[in-house]
Amino acid sequence: MISLGSVLRDLTRPDPGAERLVPPTGTGAWLTIFSAGVMAFLAVFALALSLAAGRLADRWSDALARTSTIRISAEAAQVQAQVDAVMAVLQSTPGIADARPLSDEEERALLAPWFGADLPLDTLPIPKLVEITEGGDGYDPEGLRQRLAAEAPGATLDDHARWRQPLAAAASRLRLLGWGSLILILATTGAVITLAANASLAANAPVLRVLRQIGAQDGYIARAFVRRFTLRTLGGSATGVLVALVAIWLTPSAQAAEGFLTGLGFTGAGWLLPWLLPPLCGAVAFAATRAAAFRKLAEMP
Amino acid sequence: MTGMLSKAGAVASQQGNRVIAFDNVAYSYGGAELLSGVTLALQPGSFHFLTGPSGAGKSTFLKLCHGELLATQGTVTLFDRDIRGVNRDGLARMRRRVGMVEQDCRFLDHLPVATNVTLPLSVTGREADPQDLSDLLHWVGLTRHAGALPPQLSGGERQRAALARAIIMSPDLLLADEPTGNLDWDMSLRLLTLLVELNRMGKTILIATHDLHLIRAAKTQVNARVLRIRAGRLELAGADL
């Protein structure tokens, strides 16, 4: 059983005696560092994806769940009467905290992305919209629909349920996809490091045999490999995280309500979260190399 | 050398009654039985040669002594402990009391000769005394090659380096497989003198060799016994040697 203290001691206190046992390798070392860097880079994006998807799911759920809209379609002369009727119904409906008709400017802003900013609302048969904000435990949508049908026949309640559910479900799946990707990337890091360690151990089999013959214990021999691969992975993944954070930081920023791609990033202390990846990758490398080293040594007398 | 050998003498008394004991040992490989019915006990401070034709199993015998091979039958005891019952770390600790010189002397080719020679100390967290190391390298005639890499050495130089590495820990037991195979006669005699000196310090010596001249030379200096492997059996050779 190895303790965290002994692991940290091994990593932070170099043992020149053990270090020099393993011949220096050029290409292999750089490939390990490069692989760790790329994996960490991808892991940061997976983490960002997951966090962004989580934020989006929460935002959509909250925003859509707490608001709904009544659309009033009527002859121009009847519109105001219908609006008044709807407002009267809403004022006497429990579970509604606030209700207000959207102004022409607000409706124009809603339609601007499709028709431009100078849309002449007066000349178009645009329905009037009333925005409802729920309060307390919310209102009964079926009851409200029946009352609206009786008092304001041109009014239609849209409680956003048909929008909210698939959007929230999609965002939740995206979040799961992000976490799943992160786990897969860490597993792949472990596999890559294991392959590199196995290659190094195989190439150094004569060294291992000599060391066993002169009385070196497995732990002593393994330490040289484990320390080397762990530090390479730590260095590579730290570089990968740094590059990924810079890339995300350079991504065009977004306002709170913007789309998914422009919302891919970290907020506040979330920028520190990716820095958990290098120690995590280091731990994966430590475990993978240690297991590979002891497995290889067990084949030797 | 004096310093190193005096340290060697200090540990000699720690040995048990038998350094190595074989009890009805057999070893098979690929269906063929290389050794069978081997029973033997080497007492502390004894000096033995092991002879036999090529392929008779001399190297196998030494590897059984060193725990590099495990007997397929019977019991091998090293320092009064059954090798089969010792875990890997325990075996490593036991090997620190055994100096081994193999026929194909293997080194860490990326490290200088001097570093290779001191490796047995390094893996136990100790450092070589510079004077002892210098004396040892001088004694085996490798002073000029201390900084050379092993691939730069000749066959004879490699054997001398392997011998230096084997004795730097002042082992209780020295196993050598054809240690003079690549040495000229003068160097062989110098090696023999060192082995005899170690033996007088109480070390147990077992040398596998074809070199009958070496055996005869040894018999003039020390009470050496000769073991012979013939048809997979171990026997004590007579006075014909």
pLDDT digits (tens, 9 = 90+) for A49-60: 888 888 877 777
Where does the pLDDT of residue A261 fall: very low under 50, low under 70, confident under 90, or very high at 90 and above?
low
Q: Do A215 and B123 touch (CB under 8 A)?
A: yes
Where does the pLDDT of residue B7 fall: very low under 50, low under 70, confident under 90, or very high at 90 and above?
very low
> Which residues on chain A are in Cβ contact (under 8 Å) with B89?
217-219
Where does the pLDDT of residue B27 fall: very low under 50, low under 70, confident under 90, or very high at 90 and above?
very high
Residue A241 Cα distances to A226, A227, B4, B199, angstroms: 22, 21, 54, 62
Average pLDDT, chain A: 82
Cβ(A182)–Cβ(A44) under 8 Å? no
Residues of A with CB under 8 A from a CB of B: 17, 20-21, 23-24, 206-207, 209-220, 297-298, 301
Exposed/middle/buried for A246, CB within 10 Å: 0-12, 13-18, 19+? exposed
Span A175-228, pLDDT tens digits: 888 889 889 988 888 888 888 888 888 888 888 899 999 999 998 888 888 888
Span B147-191, pLDDT tens digits: 999 999 988 889 889 989 999 988 999 999 988 877 788 888 888
Q: Do A220 and B88 touch (CB under 8 A)?
A: no
> Does A239 have pLDDT greater than 70?
yes
B168 in any annotated domain: yes
Average pLDDT, chain B: 86
Range of the domain at B73: 2-228
Q: What is the ipTM of this complex?
A: 0.84
Q: Do A215 and B93 touch (CB under 8 A)?
A: yes
> Which residues on chain B are in Cβ contact (under 8 Å) with A220?
123
Question: Could you give the CA distance from residue A43 to residue B235 in angstroms, rounded to a whole number?
Answer: 68
Q: Do B93 and A217 touch (CB under 8 A)?
A: yes
Segment among A3-17, A104-118, A233-247, B18-32 with least mean pLDDT:
A3-17
B235 in any annotated domain: no
The nearest alpha carbon in chain B to A212 belongs to: B92
Where does the pLDDT of residue B8 fall: very low under 50, low under 70, confident under 90, or very high at 90 and above?
very low
For chain B, what is the domain count? 1
Mean pLDDT of A37-48: 90
Nearest Cα neighbor of B182 from B164, B150, B209 is: B209
- Mutation to test the B interface, candidates A208, A214, A217, most B Cβ within 10 Å: A214
- The phi, psi pair for A139, rounded to 5°, reads -105, 170
Helices (H), chain A: 4-12, 16-19, 27-66, 76-91, 104-115, 141-151, 161-203, 205-213, 218-250, 277-298
Query: Could you say which of B63, B92, B122 has the minimum Cβ distance to residue A17?
Result: B122
Q: Do A215 and B115 touch (CB under 8 A)?
A: no
Give the strands of the sheet with A155-158, arranged side by side. A96-101, A128-134, A67-72, A155-158
> Does A267 have pLDDT greater than 60?
yes
Q: How many CB pairs under 8 A join A and B?
A: 63
Query: Could you say which of A206, A214, A219 has the minimum Cβ distance to residue B95?
Result: A214
CATH number of residue B18's parent domain: 3.40.50.300
What pLDDT is recorded for position B207?
94
B28 in any annotated domain: yes
> Does A24 have pLDDT greater than 80?
no
What pLDDT is recorded for position B24?
92
What pLDDT is recorded for position B107?
92
Helix axes A205-213, A161-203, angle to 10 degrees: 60
B238 in any annotated domain: no
The nearest alpha carbon in chain A to B167 belongs to: A214
How far A9 CA sits from the closest chain B CA (Å)? 16
Nearest Cα neighbor of A290 from A208, A168, A193 is: A193
Q: Which two tokens stand for residue B207?
A: 């040398």
Query: Could you say which of B66, B70, B111 has the minimum Cβ distance to residue A20?
Result: B111
> Does B9 have pLDDT greater than 50?
no
What pLDDT is recorded for position B63?
93
How far A214 CA sits from the closest chain B CA (Å)? 6
B101 in any annotated domain: yes
Query: Could you say which of B68, B69, B107 has the minimum Cβ distance to residue A210?
Result: B107
Q: What is the DSSP string of B106-146?
A: ---TTS-HHHHHTHHHHTTT----HHHHHHHHHHTT-GGGT
Q: Do B92 and A216 touch (CB under 8 A)?
A: yes
The DSSP bridge pattern shows strands A67-72 and A128-134 to be antiparallel
B133 in any annotated domain: yes
What pLDDT is recorded for position A259?
54
B233 in any annotated domain: no
Query: Could you say which of A17, A213, A218 has the minimum Cβ distance to residue B100?
Result: A213
Domain ranges of chain A: 4-61+165-298, 74-153
Q: Do A217 and B88 touch (CB under 8 A)?
A: yes
Count CB neighbours of B112 within 10 A.
17
Task: Say whether B35 sits in a helix, a strand or coil.
Answer: strand
What pLDDT is recorded for position B204?
94
Where does the pLDDT of residue A263 fall: very low under 50, low under 70, confident under 90, or very high at 90 and above?
low
Segment among A256-265, B3-12, B190-199 with least mean pLDDT:
B3-12
Q: Which of A4-13, A191-200, A260-269, B226-235 has the highest mean pLDDT?
A: B226-235
What pLDDT is recorded for position B114?
94
Element (H, E) at B95: helix B88-95
> Does B16 have pLDDT greater than 60?
no
Span A126-167, pLDDT tens digits: 888 898 888 877 788 888 888 888 888 888 888 777 677 777
Mean pLDDT of B66-75: 92
